[in-house]
A and B are shown apart, each in its own frame.
Chain A
Amino acid sequence: MILKIDNYLKRSTASSKLVVFRICFGLMMLYSMLRFWSKGWIETVYLEPKFHFKYYGFEWVQSLGSHTYLLFIICILCAFLITIGLWYRLSILLFFLCFTYIELIEKTTYLNHYYFISILSFLLVFLPANKCFSMDVFFRKKQYKEIPQWTVDAIKLLMVIVYFYAGLAKINSDWLFKALPLKIWMPSKYDIPLIGETLLQQEWVHYAMSWGGMLYDLSIPFLLIYRKTRLFGFAMVVFFHVFTAVLFPIGMFPYIMIVSALIFFEGETHDKIVTLLKKIIQPFRSLLGISSIENVNHFNYKRPKWILWTLAIFFAIQMVAPFRYVLYPSELFWAEEGYRFSWRVMLVEKIGYTNFKVVNKTSGSSFYVRNGHFLTDLQIKQKSFQPDMILEYAHYLGDHFKSQGHKNIGIYAESYVSLNGRSNQQFIDPEIDLLMQKESFKHKQWIKPFKDEIKGF
């Protein structure tokens, strides 16, 4: 066994695989960050709110105000440096730190694909993605033909986890046997040319898409891994992600997944891509006068053990964390305890309406909070159906009104949530003073139990 692992770790593969991945990742990030900026979202998401929702344990992450632009500039700069492969280690590390910091500022914008970018860039910090066709090679006058096989497999493994867990999450009674939420979403896409008024209105199409989506997510990793099915698998990847890009406002995610899937191809494919890219930028290359670069066959880490252990722990967490929901007695889609960071994508249609009542416990008098005074519309929408945000906001309100001189107050939520087309149901126990509750990993008793059952993962 140990011998097997040892042998595996010694295997090597074309360094161009990670190089192509690096370039694609860099370009995608460059475009994503510029796109985010150009849409004015830095302003609306990070500068306008008076109050930011924080991840548990990361309350210390503060908004940098207008310096948030600096974080974006660093990310953009790093993305460019990653693309051309200059100071790769430093730029990917900086990118990971800045990008993750940005994400940690505000919880209401949580998206699985931002999380994916965060952990992927973390992984890339440890991988030799600059060993050929990079500015680092140009300056160090040394390029490597091959890198350890496991460095490429690490990225594949991450992608396998993303797809497979997303597929597992779709094995639930709402998704498969009620075609929910697709049955709610698809008819509203009536304005998509050709299929909007026709196919997307058909119930059988909703079922076909539900089952197809589940089977796709579960099988795509294997279709990509096996050489014989790879081209077909990649065709599926392109089809699926282009289709979702047409249907949903999911930004860059489909394109990031499509180019990421290239990692599964053989080294010769990547070599050809590199050759092609070299041709395209030939004028610059001759300007730089590329010459006298020493060719070395194998790249080996100086201290691989340390990195291998780090990655082993990283992947162990990735594989176990999505199952943490089993530790909670509540319905996962309802209470969302253990919901995030688990590749549960597009699974629920959830909409809530939550008002907060400030009660003077001495006099019994009370008033309602005008959420618009404190939150942006995006925050109001998100906080209305996520218990941790409801709690955090209640505490913020408590601090605010106490600082205004209100004494002995309690804060109560009147909250109604509709999940996957069910009638709305009271979400938070209205008798509970949220100021007496503390955030923790423990089950939140004050979430009203879901009056229905959703079976499955």
Chain B
Amino acid sequence: MIKKIFLLGIIITSLFIGCSDDSDPSNNNDNNGNSGSNTTTPVSLRSQVLVNWADNFIIPNYQSLSNKLFNLQTSVSNFCSNPDQLGLEEVRENWLQAYKSWQYVEMFNIGPAQQFYYHYKMNTYPANTNGIEAFIESGDFSNLNNPSPPNNASQGFPAMDYMLFGIAQNDSFIINLYDDLDLNYNQYLLDITDRMVSNTDNVLTEWDSYRDSFLASTENNATSSINKMTNDFIYYYEKGFRANKIGIPIGVFSNGNNFPSKFEAYHKQDVSGILGLEAFDAIKAFFNGNDNPSLKHLIDAAAIGDLTNLSSEINEQFDDAYTEFQGLNVNFVEQLQMSPGQLNSIYDEIQAGTVLLKTEMLSVLQIATDYVDADGD
């Protein structure tokens, strides 16, 4: 009897494995009316999505940022060797161009970027102005290597924002500070610029070897790149975009006490809206994939019933928020003083997008979350 039971167990298990061989691999995926060709299997669609993400978004966007940072580095070194108004203007312009370019990589906190704490070092704001002054006074900047919130906020784009616009009342005072080499402002600006360049190039170089494993990881589990990237996208939309760029400064989480100094590019001021809109462009482009497969296509392939039109709904929600976003004063500090209601209403529109992403999209995609590790029943 016992032997019979064991034998049976083995037979069944092997039957189960064997049986599944019979199925015809060519007739799959044609029952849910997706837009892809009939030869698209779930895995091949995911492969296409990953290739699109890596080769048309992540790597080129980093490359483009790297180019912009190179220009910035050149102008910074010109300016620092001979500080004048013209040089300052050029640095500022290149900083803004690079900062705009940054908005297209900010959501890719994955792989090497994550490993190097790259994102935290590039754009933790508000800038830690006391920390920056302390570094400058000490003349020793090596501690910037250690990732910690105060150190992260003392470098990257926000620190440059402070260095270029916030260290003195007007341009001639600012230039004076850079003129006096004993004061270390000059050295600090050079140092943090070099760090941004080398940190970015590190990530970009690492992608050469990371790319293959990124593309190969199409399965549906907590650590696969398709799932991690999707989770990162949602996280970025909710935290990096919705909360950091608007929610926190306008006081959504703090009982109406707002913090204008927490807006992105606070010291420059009149570009917060420009950077935010770039970020929104990046979000929309990534979601739709620029005509190649991306989240939109994954949703379309899996959506059934009520949610068949989910990707269009999400796009409509994005567009509504985007249109309202365009109507804002690009100077968010002024916008907050003059008419905070508009910012609150933008926040609500973006939030409505979060609801769609975090309920309906997650339900359709059945992404294994990277944070909840537990048995189900």
Instruction: List residues of A whose CB falls within 8 A of some B CB.
Output: 39, 41, 44-45, 109, 111-113, 178, 180, 183-185, 187-191, 194-199, 201-203, 231, 234-235, 238-239, 242-243, 248-253, 262, 265-266, 268-269, 272-273, 276, 345-346, 349, 351-353, 358, 360, 365-370, 377-378, 381, 406, 416-418, 421-424
B59 nearest CB across to chain A (Å): 25
**Complex: A45 Cα to B373 Cα, angstroms:** 10
Q: Nearest chain-A residue to B28 (Cβ)?
A: A201
Q: B363 touching A421 by the CB < 8 A rule?
A: yes
The answer to whether A202 and B360 have CB atoms under 8 Å apart is no
B169 lies within 8 A of chain A by Cβ: no
Shortest CB distance B201–A (Å)? 33
**Chain B residue at minimal CB-CB distance from A355:** B351
B176 at the interface (CB under 8 A from A): no
B35 at the interface (CB under 8 A from A): no
Of B2, B5, B254, B374, which one neighbours A41 at CB under 8 angstroms?
A: B374
- Determine the distance from Cα of A269 to Cα of B17 in the docked complex, in whole angstroms: 28
Do A198 and B25 touch across chains, with their CB atoms under 8 A apart? yes
Majority SS at the chain A contact face: mixed
Are B355 and A249 within 8 A (Cβ)? no
Residue contacts A-B, CB under 8 angstroms, 29 given: A113-B377, A187-B32, A189-B220, A194-B21, A197-B25, A197-B29, A198-B25, A198-B28, A199-B23, A201-B29, A202-B28, A231-B4, A235-B8, A235-B12, A239-B15, A243-B16, A249-B376, A251-B375, A269-B1, A352-B359, A353-B355, A367-B255, A368-B247, A368-B253, A377-B369, A378-B371, A381-B372, A418-B359, A422-B306
Specify which chain A residues have a CB less than 8 angstroms from the CB of B377 in the assembled complex.
Answer: 111-113, 250, 253, 345-346
**Chain B residue at smallest Cβ distance from A199:** B23
In contact, A188 and B302 (Cβ under 8 angstroms): yes
Q: With A and B bound together, what is the CA distance between A65 and B371 in angstroms?
A: 22
Given the complex, which residues of B lie within 8 Å of A111, measured CB to CB?
A: 375-377
Asked whether any CB of chain A lies closer than 8 Å to the CB of B251, the reply is yes
Check B305–A367 contact: CB distance below 8 A. Answer: no
Specify the chain B residue showing the minimal Cβ separation from A109: B374
Whether B305 and A421, one on each chain, are in contact in the complex, defined by CB atoms closer than 8 angstroms, is: yes
CB-defined contacts of B8 to chain A, threshold 8 Å: 231, 234-235, 238
A389 to chain B, nearest CB (A): 15
CB distance from B164 to the nearest CB of A (A): 32
**Quick check: B304 and A421 within 8 Å, CB to CB?**
yes
- In the assembled complex, the CB of A281 is this many whole angstroms from the nearest CB of chain B, namely 16
Contact residue among B42, B219, B306, B355 (Cβ-Cβ distance under 8 Å from A201) = B42
Task: List the interface of chain B (C-beta within 8 A of A).
Answer: 1-2, 4-5, 8-9, 11-13, 15-17, 20-21, 23-25, 27-29, 31-32, 41-43, 218-221, 247, 251-256, 302, 304-307, 354-356, 358-360, 362-366, 369, 371-377
| Assembled-state Cα–Cα distance A189/B28 (Å) | 13
In the complex, what residues of B have CB within 8 A of residue A113's CB?
377
The reply to whether A367 and B359 contact each other, CB–CB distance below 8 Å, is no
Residue of A nearest to B46 (CB): A190
Which listed residue, B12, B24, B43, B373, touches A44 by the CB 8 Å rule? Answer: B373
Do B220 and A377 touch (CB < 8 A)?
no
Asked if A422 and B359 make an inter-chain contact with CB atoms under 8 angstroms apart, the answer reads no
Residues of A near B15 (CB, < 8 A) are 239
Q: Which residue of A lies closest to B222 (CB)?
A: A249
- In angstroms, Cα B255 to Cα A239, docked, is 56
- Chain B residues contacting A231 (CB-CB under 8 Å) are 4-5, 8
User: Which chain A residues lie closer than 8 Å to B29 at the CB level?
Assistant: 197, 201
Alpha-carbon separation in the docked complex, A94 to B68 (Å): 67
Residues in B neighbouring A198, C-beta threshold 8 A: 20, 23-25, 28
Of A253, A262, A424, the contact of B356 (CB 8 Å cutoff): A424
Given contacts A238-B9, A421-B304, 14 further A-B contacts (CB under 8 A): A45-B374, A187-B32, A187-B366, A195-B20, A197-B28, A201-B31, A248-B376, A249-B375, A268-B1, A367-B251, A418-B307, A421-B364, A423-B306, A423-B307
CB-CB < 8 A to B12: which residues of A?
235, 238-239, 242
Closest residue of chain A to B5 (Cβ to Cβ) is A234
- Which A residues touch B253, using CB under 8 A? 367-370
Instruction: Kindly state the separation between the CA atoms of A424 and B16 in the bound complex, as whole angstroms.
Output: 37
- Min distance, Cβ B149 to any Cβ of chain A, angstroms: 16
What CA separation (Å) do A194 and B53 show in the bound complex?
Answer: 27
A178: min CB distance to chain B, Å: 8
Q: Give the residues in chain A near B376, CB-CB below 8 Å.
A: 111, 248-250, 346
By beta carbon, the residue of chain A nearest B305 is A421
Q: Please give, as numbers and ranges, the residues of chain A lying within 8 Å of B218 by CB-CB distance.
A: 191
- Are B42 and A197 in contact, CB atoms less than 8 angstroms apart? yes
**B370 nearest CB across to chain A (Å):** 9
Does B256 lie within 8 Å of A365, measured CB to CB?
yes
A394 to B373 alpha-carbon distance, docked (Å): 25
Contact of B17 among A194, A202, A250 (CB under 8 A): A194
**Chain A residues in 8 Å Cβ range of B365:** 188
Distance, CA A44 to CA B371, complexed state (A) = 11
Q: Chain B residues near A368 (CB, 8 Å)?
A: 247, 252-253
A178-B307 Cα distance, complex, nearest whole Å: 14
B20 touches A194 (CB 8 A): yes
Which 3 A-B pairs have CB atoms at the shortest separation, nearest pair first? Answer: A188-B366, A190-B42, A251-B375
A45, A190, A417: the one within 8 Å of B41 (CB): A190
Residue of B nearest to A419 (CB): B363
A133 to chain B, nearest CB (A): 15
CA distance A268 to B3 in the complex (A): 13
A184 touches B363 (CB 8 A): yes
Nearest CB of B to A299, in Å: 24
Chain A nearest CB: distance from B316 CB in Å?
13
Contacts of A266 in B (CB 8 A): 1
Q: Is A422 a contact partner of B305 (Cβ separation < 8 A)?
A: yes
**Bound state CA distance, A365 and B344, in angstroms?**
13
> Is there an interface contact between A353 and B366, defined as CB atoms closer than 8 Å?
no
Question: A366 touching B255 by the CB < 8 A rule?
Answer: yes
Complex CA distance for A424 and B220, rounded to whole angstroms: 24
What is the distance, in angstroms, from A17's C-beta to the closest C-beta of chain B? 13
Contacting pair A39 B373 (CB below 8 A): yes
Closest to A185 in B: B366
Q: Given the complex of chains A and B, what is the CA–CA distance between A201 and B1 in angstroms?
A: 39
Residue of A nearest to B356 (CB): A424
Residue from the list A44, A265, A351, A378 in contact with B363, Cβ < 8 A? A351
